[in-house]
């Protein structure tokens, strides 16, 4: 075995032993997460993910959670999430302030290949879902690149609904806010309603006209619920 092969084997052994701990990322670990994303999956943008860990004060609206999975002192997984209405380009909109604290978005999830097959990604998802539930959030969503077809079953197994490539969904938060989610043409949306409140209208398999009717019907139903609550 050559020297290069021995180094690869040693690295694989380091990633394959020891207990995995899931915890909050701390400042200074952003570049480690960026390296994982750059090398293995990509995600929302490795630089943005690293910046959110090393400079958390940039994102002070809503709850932002950056988790890492560590084994033998090495980061082998990471999950980045945040309040979708707390994003800098959204939180300035008039309706956004009232919606902060309702809808969280998964922006990146990565697991090192040598740590896969142990449901580590599911563990990260479950932990972040628990925290957002405890904080009163109602909805958790994200998207993945359509060519990664295995992720459809992956997120489905985690309890998420999964749309179709390039097709939007519409989230109705009572009678207060209608929030469309529109993926890129090569992306697939996934979502989970964690608490009673929002209605998700999946436009994946309907015509534009039928989609409009479904949204209008859901809005009327939400308005009716609001009136009933007012009585």
> 91 falls in which pLDDT band (50, 70, 90)?
confident
Return the higher-pLDDT residue of 210 and 132: 132
Over residues 133-160, the mean pLDDT reads: 94
Return the higher-pLDDT residue of 122 and 10: 122
Distance CA 181, CA 187 (A): 11
Task: Please answer whether residues 176 and 199 qualify as being in contact, where contact means their C-beta atoms are separated by less than 8 angstroms.
Answer: no
Per the DSSP assignment, residues forming a β-bridge with 60 are: none
The answer on pLDDT for 231 being more than 50 is no
The answer on pLDDT for 33 being more than 60 is yes
Distance CA 180, CA 172 (A): 9
| Predicted structure pTM score | 0.81
> 6 falls in which pLDDT band (50, 70, 90)?
low
Q: What is the pLDDT of residues 36-58, one digit of tens each?
A: 888 877 555 567 777 878 877 65
The answer on pLDDT for 149 being more than 90 is yes
Cβ atoms within 10 Å, residue 224: 11
Distance CA 188, CA 159 (A): 16
Distance CA 76, CA 73 (A): 9
Q: What is the pLDDT of residues 174-216, one digit of tens each?
A: 766 778 888 888 899 999 999 988 888 888 878 888 888 888 8
In the block, tokens 């999430």 appear at: 81
Q: What percentage of the chain exceeds 70 in pLDDT?
A: 84
> 1 falls in which pLDDT band (50, 70, 90)?
low
Give the phi and the psi of residue 190 in degrees, each rounded to 5: -135, 150
């Amino acid at each position: 075995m050559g020297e290069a092969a021995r180094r690869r084997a040693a690295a694989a052994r380091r990633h394959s032993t020891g207990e995995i701990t899931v915890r909050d990322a701390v400042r200074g670990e952003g570049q480690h997460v960026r390296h994982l994303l750059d090398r293995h999956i990509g995600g929302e943008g490795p630089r943005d993910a690293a910046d959110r860990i090393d400079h958390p004060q940039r994102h002070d609206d809503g709850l932002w959670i950056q988790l890492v999975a560590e084994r033998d002192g090495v980061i082998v997984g990471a999950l980045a999430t945040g309040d979708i209405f707390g994003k800098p380009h959204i939180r300035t909109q008039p309706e956004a302030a009232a919606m902060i604290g309702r809808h969280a978005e998964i922006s990146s999830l990565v697991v090192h290949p040598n740590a896969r097959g142990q449901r580590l990604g599911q563990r990260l998802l479950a932990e972040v879902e628990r925290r957002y539930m405890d904080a009163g959030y109602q909805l958790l969503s994200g998207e993945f690149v359509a060519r990664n077809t295995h992720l459809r079953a992956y997120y489905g197994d985690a309890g998420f609904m999964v749309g179709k490539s390039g097709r939007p969904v519409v989230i109705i938060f009572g009678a207060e806010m209608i929030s469309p989610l529109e993926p890129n043409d090569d992306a697939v949306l996934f979502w989970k309603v964690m608490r009673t409140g929002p209605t998700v209208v999946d436009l994946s398999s309907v015509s534009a006209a039928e989609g409009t009717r479904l949204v209008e019907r859901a809005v009327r139903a939400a308005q009716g619920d609001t009136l009933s609550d007012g009585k």
